[in-house]
Structure 1
Amino acid sequence: MTMGLPKRSWEDDDLEAIEEGIEQADAGQLIPFERIKDWVASWDTPDEKPLPTVEPPRRPHR
Protein backbone atom coordinates (compact mmCIF):
# COMPACT_ATOMS: atom_id res chain seq x y z
CA MET A 1 0.00 0.00 0.00
CA THR A 2 1.39 3.38 -0.98
CA MET A 3 0.87 6.39 1.22
CA GLY A 4 1.00 9.71 -0.54
CA LEU A 5 -0.68 13.01 -0.98
CA PRO A 6 -4.46 13.00 -1.06
CA LYS A 7 -5.88 13.01 -4.57
CA ARG A 8 -7.10 16.32 -5.91
CA SER A 9 -10.10 16.48 -8.15
CA TRP A 10 -10.52 18.69 -11.17
CA GLU A 11 -13.10 20.60 -9.14
CA ASP A 12 -10.37 21.53 -6.64
CA ASP A 13 -8.24 22.89 -9.48
CA ASP A 14 -11.20 24.80 -10.93
CA LEU A 15 -12.09 26.35 -7.57
CA GLU A 16 -8.46 27.35 -7.05
CA ALA A 17 -8.36 29.03 -10.49
CA ILE A 18 -11.64 30.85 -9.81
CA GLU A 19 -10.42 32.12 -6.45
CA GLU A 20 -7.18 33.32 -8.05
CA GLY A 21 -9.17 35.13 -10.75
CA ILE A 22 -11.34 36.85 -8.15
CA GLU A 23 -8.25 37.98 -6.23
CA GLN A 24 -6.72 39.37 -9.43
CA ALA A 25 -9.92 41.22 -10.34
CA ASP A 26 -10.19 42.65 -6.83
CA ALA A 27 -6.60 43.91 -7.23
CA GLY A 28 -7.48 45.58 -10.55
CA GLN A 29 -5.52 43.08 -12.65
CA LEU A 30 -7.90 42.73 -15.58
CA ILE A 31 -7.77 41.87 -19.28
CA PRO A 32 -10.06 44.14 -21.34
CA PHE A 33 -12.89 42.27 -23.08
CA GLU A 34 -11.90 43.68 -26.48
CA ARG A 35 -8.47 41.98 -26.21
CA ILE A 36 -10.08 38.66 -25.25
CA LYS A 37 -12.56 38.97 -28.13
CA ASP A 38 -9.74 39.68 -30.62
CA TRP A 39 -7.73 36.74 -29.28
CA VAL A 40 -10.63 34.29 -29.59
CA ALA A 41 -11.46 35.57 -33.08
CA SER A 42 -7.87 34.83 -34.14
CA TRP A 43 -8.02 31.14 -33.21
CA ASP A 44 -7.37 28.74 -36.10
CA THR A 45 -6.17 31.54 -38.37
CA PRO A 46 -2.69 32.07 -39.81
CA ASP A 47 -2.37 35.17 -37.58
CA GLU A 48 -3.43 33.57 -34.29
CA LYS A 49 -2.69 35.95 -31.42
CA PRO A 50 -0.99 34.94 -28.15
CA LEU A 51 -2.97 34.69 -24.94
CA PRO A 52 -3.57 38.24 -23.65
CA THR A 53 -1.86 39.12 -20.40
CA VAL A 54 -3.05 41.17 -17.47
CA GLU A 55 -2.58 44.91 -17.80
CA PRO A 56 -1.08 46.69 -14.81
CA PRO A 57 -3.59 48.83 -12.92
CA ARG A 58 -3.81 52.38 -14.24
CA ARG A 59 -2.62 55.20 -12.03
CA PRO A 60 -5.15 57.94 -11.41
CA HIS A 61 -4.35 61.32 -12.92
CA ARG A 62 -3.21 63.97 -10.49
Structure 2
Amino acid sequence: MTLSFTTHWRDELPDFYTSLLPTPLDNARLIWRNAPLAQQLGVPDALFAPENGAGVWGGEALLPGMSPL
Protein backbone atom coordinates (compact mmCIF):
# COMPACT_ATOMS: atom_id res chain seq x y z
CA MET A 1 0.00 0.00 0.00
CA THR A 2 1.34 3.40 -0.94
CA LEU A 3 0.37 6.81 0.38
CA SER A 4 1.88 10.11 -0.62
CA PHE A 5 3.17 12.34 2.17
CA THR A 6 3.91 16.05 1.76
CA THR A 7 7.01 17.04 3.72
CA HIS A 8 7.34 20.78 3.18
CA TRP A 9 8.30 21.40 6.83
CA ARG A 10 10.95 18.70 6.74
CA ASP A 11 12.32 19.76 3.37
CA GLU A 12 12.25 23.54 3.67
CA LEU A 13 12.50 24.38 7.38
CA PRO A 14 14.94 21.94 9.02
CA ASP A 15 15.70 24.33 11.91
CA PHE A 16 12.05 24.49 12.98
CA TYR A 17 11.43 20.89 14.07
CA THR A 18 12.94 17.87 15.73
CA SER A 19 12.60 14.45 14.13
CA LEU A 20 11.13 11.96 16.57
CA LEU A 21 9.87 8.43 16.16
CA PRO A 22 6.41 7.78 17.60
CA THR A 23 6.16 6.25 21.05
CA PRO A 24 4.07 3.07 20.72
CA LEU A 25 0.96 2.88 22.87
CA ASP A 26 0.43 -0.19 25.06
CA ASN A 27 -2.35 -2.43 23.74
CA ALA A 28 -3.54 0.17 21.22
CA ARG A 29 -6.64 -0.62 19.24
CA LEU A 30 -8.61 1.23 16.62
CA ILE A 31 -12.14 1.80 17.87
CA TRP A 32 -13.53 4.05 15.13
CA ARG A 33 -12.62 5.57 11.80
CA ASN A 34 -14.12 8.19 9.53
CA ALA A 35 -14.54 6.10 6.37
CA PRO A 36 -15.71 8.97 4.10
CA LEU A 37 -12.75 11.14 5.13
CA ALA A 38 -10.30 8.25 4.74
CA GLN A 39 -11.64 7.67 1.23
CA GLN A 40 -11.39 11.39 0.42
CA LEU A 41 -7.76 11.41 1.62
CA GLY A 42 -6.93 8.24 -0.30
CA VAL A 43 -6.23 6.13 2.80
CA PRO A 44 -6.84 2.51 1.73
CA ASP A 45 -9.34 0.37 3.67
CA ALA A 46 -6.62 -2.26 4.16
CA LEU A 47 -4.85 0.06 6.58
CA PHE A 48 -7.82 -0.28 8.94
CA ALA A 49 -8.12 -4.08 8.67
CA PRO A 50 -8.03 -5.98 11.99
CA GLU A 51 -5.09 -8.11 10.86
CA ASN A 52 -3.02 -4.92 10.59
CA GLY A 53 -3.75 -4.18 14.24
CA ALA A 54 -3.43 -0.67 15.57
CA GLY A 55 0.01 -0.48 13.89
CA VAL A 56 0.39 2.97 12.41
CA TRP A 57 -2.48 4.41 14.46
CA GLY A 58 -0.91 3.33 17.75
CA GLY A 59 2.63 4.43 16.95
CA GLU A 60 3.92 0.88 16.40
CA ALA A 61 4.88 1.29 12.76
CA LEU A 62 5.52 3.84 10.04
CA LEU A 63 4.39 3.58 6.45
CA PRO A 64 6.94 4.06 3.67
CA GLY A 65 7.49 7.78 3.19
CA MET A 66 6.41 8.79 6.70
CA SER A 67 8.84 11.09 8.47
CA PRO A 68 7.35 12.20 11.79
CA LEU A 69 8.25 15.55 13.28
Could you say which TM-score interval applies, normalised by the shorter chain? under 0.3
Query: Whose relative contact order is higher, 1 or 2, with alpha carbons under 8 Å and at least 6 apart?
Result: 2
TM-score, normalised relative to structure 1: 0.23
TM-score, normalised relative to structure 2: 0.22
Task: Looking at secondary structure, tell me which structure has more helix per residue.
Answer: 1
